[in-house]
Amino acid sequence: MLEQKLNAFFGDDQPTGFGTGWWSGVLSAFFGLLAFGAVVVLHFPQLLSSPELRPHYPMDLMRQLIQAVIVGAILLGLVSAVLRRKKVLGFTGMLFALAATLLGGASVEINEPLHDGMAIGLDWFLLDLLLMTLIFSPIEVLWPAYPKQSVFRPEWLLDVVYFLSTHLPIRITTILILLPATQLVAVLGNAGLQSAVGSLPWLAQFFLAVLVADLAEYWIHRALHEVPWLWRFHAIHHSSKALDWIAGSRAHLVDDLLIRGLMLIPMLFLFSQSIITAYLLFVTIHATWAHTNFGPTIKWLEPFVIFPRFHHWHHTSQKESIDKNFAIHFPWIDKLFGTYYYPEGRWPDTYGLHEEPIPAGFWGQTFYPFTRRKAA
Ligand SMILES: [Zn+2]
Ligand SMILES: [Zn+2]
């Protein structure tokens, strides 16, 4: 297993708290890898950047960001190398930062005119990984619901592979997700309905969009649980035995396409492009947050908006809460449809599938729904 080899190569039995050189080493290696990846994208922008994102990049800012990540990797690597007996983490970060610099660093020019076409979303993977890590990792480290759970808990690498698998083919998945909804709306769309919704204040439109999307997601999600052949895809998402923000990205491609593609159908009928874009941004953050290992809560708000503890009960392997809590934004939707389970103040004891063995690796899980179920 690659994960065990990585853990053994980089890890040691020293303490990992603040001031031990552990976090500076981890961050140095992380920044080093990001910087190296970003410079490679600058060298091959046609192949490695998403055509959808390219026109929106403020390039001066992106170059400053790459520069900052290179400097960060070197400084944190130095700190780690001074503080920690095992220097591999810090040296790895510095080595990647050095390689990124030797390859031209943040100032690599883009000379070719870029055109539309198939591309790999390495830019999107690196940027979203950095963004999500910056938003969610600090709150998980500082205020965890499960303090004993490490950032590098078992199967962390598998979830990074899933994160990679949903970001690199962004070009193909965007087309697949948009295709059914846009075709349907082109045939059945009603301009009057859309402009009626569009005349509402922006905030009202946005709230309505979250509500419509959550109602759609509730029923799609519930179907994924209750229709046996659909469950075989969704079971992958439920195979995580511990939750944190990146565990949320573990999903079979078919599961991901179904939820996002079907949810868009009512959205495209009712809302403008800007509202839908705002919603997509919101759902990325809220759905990821629902998986975090983050303990604090605002008690009076819990019945109205989903906090991590609510979705964690959706992921438990404990019998009392199986097939409960399907909503992703509003818990009261589950109350409305009789699938609400939210015992006060408690977190689940165990996570994962209830008596359903599934393969361990990415490819095994990808092919799992298509394999014949063994007779009991
Ligand atoms: Zn589920
Ligand atoms: Zn989930």
pLDDT digits (tens, 9 = 90+) for 120-175: 999 999 999 999 999 999 999 999 999 999 889 999 999 999 999 999 998 888 88
Task: Please give the share of the chain, as a percent, with pLDDT higher than 90.
Answer: 78
Question: What pLDDT score does 116 carry?
Answer: 86
- Cα torsion through 234, 239, 244, 248, rounded to 10: -20
**Closest ligand to the CA of 292:** 2
Is the confidence at residue 376, as pLDDT, over 60?
A: no
Question: Contact at 8 Å (CB) between 100 and 70?
Answer: yes
- Pick 323 or 374 by higher pLDDT: 323
Q: Quick one: which ligand is closest to 224's CA?
A: 1
What ligand is nearest to the CA atom of residue 310? 2
User: 248 CA distance to ligand 2 centroid (A)?
Assistant: 5
370 vs 307: CA distance, rounded Å: 34
Q: How far is the CA of 123 from the centre of ligand 1 (A)?
A: 29
Residues 6 or more apart in contact with residue 185 via CB below 8 angstroms:
265, 268, 269
pLDDT tens per residue across span 231-271: 999 999 999 999 999 999 999 999 999 999 999 999 999 99
pLDDT reported for residue 261 = 93
The size of the chain, in residues, is 376
Asked whether residue 346 carries a pLDDT value surpassing 90, the answer given is yes
Q: Cα separation of 240 and 146, whole Å?
A: 15
Q: What are the backbone dihedrals phi and psi of residue 17, each rounded to the nearest 5 degrees, phi first?
A: -70, 180
The CB-side HSE value for 284 (13 A sphere, CA atoms) comes to 14
- Measuring CA to CA, which residue among 283, 280, 249, 255 is closest to residue 125? 249
Contacts of residue 26, defined as CB under 8 A and 6 or more positions apart, other chains included, come to 89, 151
- Counting ligands in written order, the one closest to the CA of 334 is 1
Q: How far is the CA of 315 from the centre of ligand 2 (A)?
A: 6
Which residue matches tokens 């001031």?
19
d(CA 76, CA 122): 24
Q: Which residue has the higher pLDDT, 286 or 373?
A: 286
Closest listed ligand to the CA of 225: 1
Mean pLDDT lowest for which of 86-100, 177-191, 256-270, 305-319? Answer: 177-191
Instruction: Using DSSP, state whether 351 is helix, strand or coil.
Output: strand
What average pLDDT does the structure give for the chain?
A: 93
C-alpha 269 to ligand 1 mean position (Å) = 26
For residue 149, the tally of other CB atoms under 10 A from its CB is 15
| DSSP letters for 283-343 | HHHHHHHHTS------GGGTTTS--HHHHHHHTB--GGGTT----SS-THHHHHHT-----
Separation of CA 128 and ligand 1 centre (Å): 23
**So what's the pLDDT on residue 311?**
98
Nearest alpha carbon to residue 265 among 177, 166, 194, 176: 177
What's the CA-to-centroid distance between 289 and ligand 2, angstroms?
10
> Minimum-distance ligand to the CA of 251?
2
Distance 192 CA to ligand 2 centre (A): 36
Amino acid 304 reads F
Residue type for 138, please? P
Ligand 1 centroid to Cα of residue 311, in Å, is: 9
250-273 in b/e form (b: 16+ CB < 10 A) is: bbbbbbbbbbbbbbbbbbbbbbbe
What one-letter code names the amino acid at 120?
Answer: I
Separation of 334 CA from ligand 2 center, angstroms? 15
Contact between 269 and 197 (Cβ < 8 Å): no
Q: Which two tokens stand for residue 210?
A: 């979250």
pLDDT (mean) for 275-293 = 95
Query: How far apart (Å, rounded) are the C-alpha atoms in residues 260 and 187?
Result: 20
Rg (CA), the chain: 22
Pick from 66-70, 108-112, 210-214: least confident: 108-112
Span 264-289, mean pLDDT?
93
Q: Are 49 and 125 in contact (CB under 8 A)?
A: no
Structure confidence at residue 375 (pLDDT): 52
Sign of CA dihedral 307, 309, 314, 315: positive
Q: What is the mean pLDDT of residues 296-320?
A: 96
Q: How confident is the model at residue 357 (pLDDT cuts 50, 70, 90)?
A: confident
The residue among 69, 89, 68, 67 whose CA lies nearest residue 78 is 89
Please report the pLDDT score of residue 297 as a whole number: 94
- C-alpha neighbours within 13 Å on the C-beta side of residue 184: 15
Query: 11-46 pLDDT, tens per residue?
Result: 888 888 888 889 999 999 999 999 999 999 999 999
